[in-house]
Chain A
Amino acid sequence: MQKFKVTFLPDHLTITAEKDSSILTAAISAGIYLNSNCAGDGTCGGCKVIVNQGQVKSQPNGIITAQEKKNNLYLACLTAIQSDLEILIPDSSRMDKDIQTDNLGGDATIEPGDTLGKNFGLCFDIGTTTISGQLVNLNSKKILGTKTAYNRQAAFGSDVITRIVYAAKTGGLEKLHNALSGTMNQIIRELVSEHKVDLNAVNCIVCSGNTTMMHLLLSLDPAHIRRQPYVPPANFPSVLRAAEAGIQISPQGLLSCVPGVSGYLGGDAIAGVLSSGIYQKEETCILIDIGTNGEIVLGNRDFLVACAGSAGPAFEGSGVTSGMRASSGAIQKVSINKNDFSVKYSTIQDKIPRGICGSGYIDLLSEMLTSGIIDKSGKIKVTGKRIRSSDNGREFVVCFKEEIRAQADIVINEADIENLKRSKGAIYSACAILVKHLALEFSAISKIFIAGGFGTYLDIEKAIRIGLLPDLERSKFIFIGNSSLAGSREILLSSQAQAMAEALALKITYFELSMDSDYMEEYSQALFFPHTDLTKFPTVKF
Chain B
Amino acid sequence: METQLVLEKWPGVVSTVVIGAKKEAGGSRGNTVTIGGQNSLPLLFKEGAIPHKPIIAFEIWDIAPQDWPDELISAYGKAINDPLAWAEKCVNEFKAELLCVKMQGTHPDFGNKSPEKAAKFISLLLSKVRVPLIIIGSGDDAKDNLILPACSEAARGERCLIGCAVQDNYKTLVASVLADGHSIIAESPIDINIAKQLNILISDMGLSLERIVINPTIGALGYGLEYAYSIMERARLAALSGDKTLASPFICFIGQEAWKSKEARVSVEQGIIWEALTATSLIQSGTDLLIMRHPQAAQKVNNYIENLFKDKE
Contacts and interface: CB of A to CB of B under 8 A. Distances in A.
A is bound by B: yes
Interface stretch (B67-75, B193-201, B290-298): B193-201
A394 to B, nearest CB: 13
A532 interface: yes
B82 interface: no
Interface in B188-223: 191, 193-194, 196-197, 200-201, 204
B246 to A, nearest CB: 10
Contacts of B245: 534
A376 B193 contact: no
A535 B204 contact: no
A532 B196 contact: yes
Contact of A376 (B191, B194, B204, B243): B204
Contact of A528 (B191, B197, B243): B197
A375 B193 contact: no
Nearest to A527: B193
A525 B193 contact: yes
Contact of A377 (B191, B201, B243): B201
Contacts of A521: 193
A525 to B, nearest CB: 5
Given A528-B197, A532-B196, A375 B191 contact: no
Which of B167, B191, B197 has the most A CB atoms < 10 Å from its CB?
A: B197
Contacts of A375: 201, 204
Contacts of A534: 200, 245
Given A534-B245, A535-B243, A524 B201 contact: no
Nearest to B167: A377
Tell me whether chain B's interface is mostly helix, strand or loop, or mixed.
helix
B193 A524 contact: yes
Contacts of B200: 376, 528, 532, 534
A535 B196 CA distance: 13
A534 B238 CA distance: 13
A524 B197 CA distance: 10
A30 to B, nearest CB: 46
B193 A532 contact: yes
Indicate the size class of the contact surface on chain B.
Answer: 10 to 19
Interface residues of A, number: 12
Contacts of B167: 377
Contacts of B204: 375-376
B309 to A, nearest CB: 33
Nearest to B238: A533
Interface in B241-280: 243, 245
B239 to A, nearest CB: 13
A379 to B, nearest CB: 9
Nearest to A526: B193
B243 to A, nearest CB: 7
A448 to B, nearest CB: 25
B201 A376 contact: yes
Contacts of B243: 533, 535
Contacts of B191: 524
Contacts of B194: 524
A376 B200 CA distance: 8
Contacts of B193: 521, 524-525, 527-528, 532
Interface in A525-542: 525, 527-528, 532-535
A524 B188 CA distance: 13
B302 to A, nearest CB: 36
A533 B197 CA distance: 9
Nearest to A542: B204
A375 B245 CA distance: 16
A408 B203 CA distance: 38
A376 B201 CA distance: 7
Contacts of B201: 375-377
A205 to B, nearest CB: 46
A532 B195 CA distance: 10
A533 B235 CA distance: 12
B196 to A, nearest CB: 5
A524 B231 CA distance: 14
Interface string A366-398: 000000000111000000000000000000000
Nearest to A528: B197
Interface in B146-190: 167
B19 to A, nearest CB: 28
Which of B167, B191, B194 has the largest count of A CB atoms less than 10 A from its CB? B194
Contacts of B197: 376-377, 528, 532
B165 to A, nearest CB: 13
B308 to A, nearest CB: 32
Interface string B71-94: 000000000000000000000000
A10 to B, nearest CB: 45
Nearest to B195: A532
A354 to B, nearest CB: 34
Interface in B81-137: none
Interface in A296-325: none
Interface in A502-542: 521, 524-525, 527-528, 532-535
A131 B8 CA distance: 56
Nearest to B242: A535
A529 to B, nearest CB: 10
9 contacts: A376-B200, A376-B201, A377-B197, A527-B193, A528-B197, A532-B200, A533-B243, A534-B245, A535-B243
Interface of B: 167, 191, 193-194, 196-197, 200-201, 204, 243, 245
Interface of A: 375-377, 521, 524-525, 527-528, 532-535
CB-based closest 9 A-B pairs: A524-B193, A532-B196, A532-B193, A525-B193, A528-B197, A532-B197, A375-B201, A376-B200, A377-B197
Given A375-B204, A532-B196, A533-B196, 15 more contacts: A375-B201, A376-B197, A376-B201, A376-B204, A521-B193, A524-B191, A524-B193, A525-B193, A527-B193, A528-B193, A528-B200, A532-B197, A533-B243, A534-B245, A535-B243
